[in-house]
Structures are given as structure tokens and as C-alpha cells.
Chains A and B, each alone.
Chain A
Amino acid sequence: MIGRREAGRRPEGASQSRADLRDQYHAWIRHHRLSAADSLFRVLDNPVSSVLTWLVIGIALALPVGLNVALDNVSRLSASWDSPAQISLFLQGGISVEKARQLEIELGEREDVTETQFISQEEALQEFSALSGFADVLASLEDNPLPNLVLISPADNLAGSEVAALRADLQGYPEVDQAVLDMEWLQRLNSLMELSRRLVLAVGGLLVAGVVLILGNTIRLAIESRRDEIVIVKLVGGSNAFVRRPFLYTGLWYGVGGGVVAAVLVALSLWLLREPVGNLALLYQSAFELRGLGIMGAMNLVILGGLLGLAGAWLAVTRHLAGIEPR
């Protein structure tokens, strides 16, 4: 064992090269294990500053992730409203009820229409006076100001643009005064959602950059505090990779811890919101329930934290480690 190592020290020993490679691999694995354990020990050895670092990273990650979870819930909610889009056909004043019913049947036979409903101007007036509370005022009117109405439900498989095309087509009927697609508010909601998503993305990007910089600075301080040690290690033959490894692991542990804190914070806030949201949904006769990160989401968050930690540590070691040489 010793003899082989001694022989392997010089590159001349060609027959030794395979054993040498295997030795190097084992040495590499061994040092990774050692660095990981040593870094974790150092992180846990300073509980106060480590917990503070974890909290900073956790909060910075939890903010965009939490907003994203909220947006996901809203879009799930609005998706359930998406299908029953309706087109209201307000008919011309001179059209009789018979002709209107005929039109309704004719439209009901179209392939891109699933359901039609005729509401005569009398029915409309009754409903309006019942709901609006203007019954007296409306009764005093000589003419019924409301038009006959046909409600059209487009086929389920129509895309948004096809529904819009259907509306334009229906507008072309001579009996139709105005065809109105009752989806505008939904479109507004959707564009609002899109805007919010981009905002969350931008805020998330900034916070992620912040996390990397915070970690980079934390690792830089760790490097500074171990400057003498780095010099000694380099003097007795430690390579840059050897010196770098414990700091990369330190970054990894800070990042992973921050990811765990973020996942806990998101889960905690959802747990706090669950009951009021459930009550609100009940008032709207909805079975809507908040959906959280899930196990996979939480795992991804922890992995993301770890990657950011590594990135920050990498930033710090590439900038600061090479400059520390024995003088």
C-alpha cells in the first residue's frame, strides 16, 4: 500500500497509473466527505449566525415562491370559470317573438353551439324589475325598453379566438343588433394574472440575485477568517480545488438550510390562510381549496436553495481564494 503510493507519486510509473487513478478517486471521495462533514460542523457550531443566514435566505426565497403559489391558486380558480363563456345576442327592436324563437332553433343546430336560451323582452323586464328594485319606475314606462335576447353557449372545445370568431359571425345575422361576449372581465383577469406573474418573476429574479450575493459575502467572510489556514494548506501542498471544497460545501449548507426555511415559511402561511379561504369558498358554494407546494415543490425549493448556495460560494471562492498565496 505504502510502496504503491510512493511509486505513484512520480508520473513515470506507467504500470501504476490505473491503481494510481483509483487511489486518486478514493482520495477525492474521501476529501469530499471530510469537507462536507467539516463544513456542516462549522455551520452548526455557530448556531446564531447560521440561523440568521438561513432566515435571510429563507425569507428572500419564500417571498417570490409564496406569491407564485398564490398566483397558481388564483389561476386554478379562474380556470373553473373559463368554460361557460356566453355570447348574448341582443335582437333588433322590430323582431317578433316567433321570429326570435325561430332564430334560436336555427342557431341551436350549429355545430359550434351547445346550448341556446331565449329570453323575451317581457321576461327580461320582469327579471330586471325583480332584481333592480325599480319595479315602480319600470311599470310606469309605456314601452318596454329591453330587447329580446338569445343566450348562446359555445361548444366546449372552442378556443378563445374561435369563440371570438363565432361572436363576429353571429353579429352578422340581420336579426342581431349586438352580439356581446361575456368574457371581457375574464380576459382582463387573465392579463392581470399575466402581469402579476411577470412581476413575481422580476421580483424573484432580484431576490435570487440577492441571495447569491448574500451567500457570496458570507463565504467571503469565512474565507477571510481562515486566511492563515489557507496559506498553511497551500504551503504543504493543498491544491486550489482542495482549499475551495470546504467553502463550496459551506455555501451548499447555507443554501439548503435557507431552502428548508423558505419551504416551511410558505407552508406556514398557507396553513394560516387555509381556514379563511375555505370559509370564503363556502360562501360562494365552492369546494375550492388552497393548494400548497407539495412534497416535490418543497424538495425543488431546497434543491434551488442548495444550488444558489453553491453559486454564491463559487462567486466568493473564485474572486477571493486565488489571491491568497503563501508570502
Chain B
Amino acid sequence: MISFDRVSKRYEEGHDALREISVSIEQDELVFLTGHSGAGKSTLLRLIMLMDRPTRGQLIVDGQNLAAVGARGVPQHRRNIGVVFQNHQLLFDRPVFDNVALPLIIAGYDHREVGRRVRAALDKVGLLNRERAMPVTLSGGEQQRVGIARAVVGKPKILLADEPTGNLDPALSGEIMQLFEDFNQVGVTVLIASHDLVLISRLHHRIITLRQGRLVTGTTQ
């Protein structure tokens, strides 16, 4: 589903964020991506999202060589990927419902379909009764769950998460991880960047470790 072939990323100021990364993630897999901050976790996710382009190497996502995706194809590419951010990235002037509906509005679903899908996604993350609430009135864990509902509402094939439990206590973090495992169960490829080793080593999934832009462990399943 996601395949890196000798991918390097060097930023303009000369810093090598990723060096010769070759790794493959199959469909139905849930993979953790770990390493110290600055090891290249975020860069790797950014390459998959096409927020950045590799300097060298080939990156194939869902059968599509990303080098062949032009600037006009980027939005369409991102619609196939759900993303969860550490800082949630919610629209704070809109209620929960509108936040979750955003990917569907962009994809152009009609409002009945939007309502149905948004409620299904909110139900899944346990926030069905908060659809009219404004994000500021929610706790950190609830905001993160709104972010997850938004990421999965468009039924993406791939779900990326960048430090999704970064600001949460262990109990809440466990619940969030359980949600990701549930989505993985129904066939979504999940890639989670996290430095919470205690939490992720308990969960028995493949762990890819990066150190200074190099891949240390987790090349194969």
C-alpha cells in the first residue's frame, strides 16, 4: 500500500531529514513509526501526504508513483488519506459536526449523505451526542477524537497519525490506540508516528524505528 524505495529527503538548508529509506507497508497493516524528535518521522508522513517531495528515490502509495502526481493532483491524492494531527487542526469557529463533515463537503457529497456519514463517524469515536458542540468546549481527548472522526469519515484506504496521543494521559492514549486498531480491523492501512514506546510496544504491531533519518528496525513484517 505504501512503498519507499531508497527515498532521501534533504532540506534546502542542507539538513538530511531522511537517508535512503526503503520500507514497505502492506494493506491491512498497522505500523508504528518511532524515533527521537528530529529523526524524520514527520518528514516521512509529509512525503506520503505530498506536503513535501523526496529529493531522491521512489515513493508509491496505493499503486500510484507520487512523482507522477502534479500540483493539481495533490488535493485528490490527499482525499484518499485520512490524517490525524497531534494538535488536532480543528476549525475552532465551527461545531464538531462541520469539522467532521469538511472532507465530505470537499468531495462534494450531498447533505443527506454527509449527515449520515458524519453521525456514523462520530458514533464510532463516541461523540455522537456532541455534534453541535464547539471544539473549545471539548477536552483534549475529545478534540483528538473529533480529529480522528474527520480523518475516517471519507473512508480513506490509508490513515496517518502524527503523535496522536502526544498530549493525552495513558488511559486516554490507550483508548485512542484502540480506535486505530478498530479501523485497521476493517481493512484500513494505519501508520502512526509516536515516541510513546511504552504504549506502542504493548500493542504487538510492527515498529519502524528511525534514527537521524536512517531506518534502524522494522524493514519487514
* Residue from B75, B89, B108 in contact with A24 in the complex, judged by beta carbons closer than 8 Å: B108
The stretch of A106-114, A129-137, A145-153, A234-242 in contact with B is A234-242
* Residue from A6, A232, A234 in contact with B75 in the complex, judged by beta carbons closer than 8 Å: A234
The verdict on A18 contacting chain B, using a C-beta distance below 8 Å, is no
- A-B contacts counted at CB < 8 A amount to 65
CB distance from B191 to the nearest CB of A (A): 16
Q: Looking at chain A, what size class is its interface with the partner chain?
A: 20 to 34
* Residue from A23, A228, A325 in contact with B108 in the complex, judged by beta carbons closer than 8 Å: A23
The verdict on B139 contacting chain A, using a C-beta distance below 8 Å, is no
Structural contact, A232 and B155, CB atoms closer than 8 A: no
A31 to B77 CA separation, bound complex (whole angstroms): 20
CB distance from A41 to the nearest CB of B (A): 12
Question: Could you pull out 7 A-B pairs where Cβ atoms are within 8 angstroms?
Answer: A5-B109, A229-B91, A229-B93, A231-B89, A234-B78, A237-B79, A237-B103
Closest 6 CB pairs of A and B: A27-B108, A237-B79, A237-B78, A239-B75, A236-B103, A238-B106
Structural contact, A238 and B75, CB atoms closer than 8 A: yes
The verdict on B133 contacting chain A, using a C-beta distance below 8 Å, is no
The verdict on A30 contacting chain B, using a C-beta distance below 8 Å, is yes
* Residue from A1, A9, A26, A27 in contact with B80 in the complex, judged by beta carbons closer than 8 Å: A9
* Residue from B51, B83, B93 in contact with A236 in the complex, judged by beta carbons closer than 8 Å: B83
Structural contact, B108 and A28, CB atoms closer than 8 A: yes
With a cutoff of 8 Å between Cβ atoms, the chain A residues found around residue B106 in the complex are 233, 236-239, 242
A236 to B91 CA separation, bound complex (whole angstroms): 12
A326 to B78 CA separation, bound complex (whole angstroms): 12
CB distance from A238 to the nearest CB of B (A): 5
CB distance from B19 to the nearest CB of A (A): 22
Can you name the residue of chain A whose Cβ is closest to the Cβ of B102? Answer: A236
Residues 123 to 155 of chain B near chain A (Cβ within 8 Å): 150, 155
With a cutoff of 8 Å between Cβ atoms, the chain A residues found around residue B83 in the complex are 235-236
Q: Which residues of A contact B (CB under 8 A)?
A: 1-2, 5-6, 9, 23-24, 26-28, 30-31, 34, 228-229, 231-240, 242, 325-327
The verdict on B220 contacting chain A, using a C-beta distance below 8 Å, is no
Structural contact, A26 and B110, CB atoms closer than 8 A: yes
With a cutoff of 8 Å between Cβ atoms, the chain A residues found around residue B78 in the complex are 234-237
Q: A27-B109, A234-B75 are in contact. List 14 more A-B contacts (CB 8 A).
A: A2-B113, A27-B108, A232-B90, A232-B102, A233-B102, A235-B49, A235-B83, A236-B78, A236-B79, A236-B103, A238-B75, A239-B76, A242-B75, A326-B51
A327 to B72 CA separation, bound complex (whole angstroms): 18
CB distance from A42 to the nearest CB of B (A): 10
The verdict on B67 contacting chain A, using a C-beta distance below 8 Å, is no
With a cutoff of 8 Å between Cβ atoms, the chain B residues found around residue A326 in the complex are 49, 51
The verdict on B107 contacting chain A, using a C-beta distance below 8 Å, is yes
A275 to B93 CA separation, bound complex (whole angstroms): 52
CB distance from B68 to the nearest CB of A (A): 12
With a cutoff of 8 Å between Cβ atoms, the chain A residues found around residue B102 in the complex are 232-233, 236
* Residue from A31, A229, A236 in contact with B150 in the complex, judged by beta carbons closer than 8 Å: A236
A235 to B89 CA separation, bound complex (whole angstroms): 9
With a cutoff of 8 Å between Cβ atoms, the chain A residues found around residue B49 in the complex are 235, 326
CB distance from A297 to the nearest CB of B (A): 39
Residues 147 to 177 of chain B near chain A (Cβ within 8 Å): 150, 155
Structural contact, A1 and B113, CB atoms closer than 8 A: yes
* Residue from B75, B76, B93, B108 in contact with A30 in the complex, judged by beta carbons closer than 8 Å: B108
Mark B70-101 against chain A: 1 for CB-CB distance below 8 A, else 0: 00100111111001000001110100000000
A67 to B155 CA separation, bound complex (whole angstroms): 60
A27 to B114 CA separation, bound complex (whole angstroms): 12
* Residue from B76, B91, B108 in contact with A31 in the complex, judged by beta carbons closer than 8 Å: B108
A233 to B105 CA separation, bound complex (whole angstroms): 10
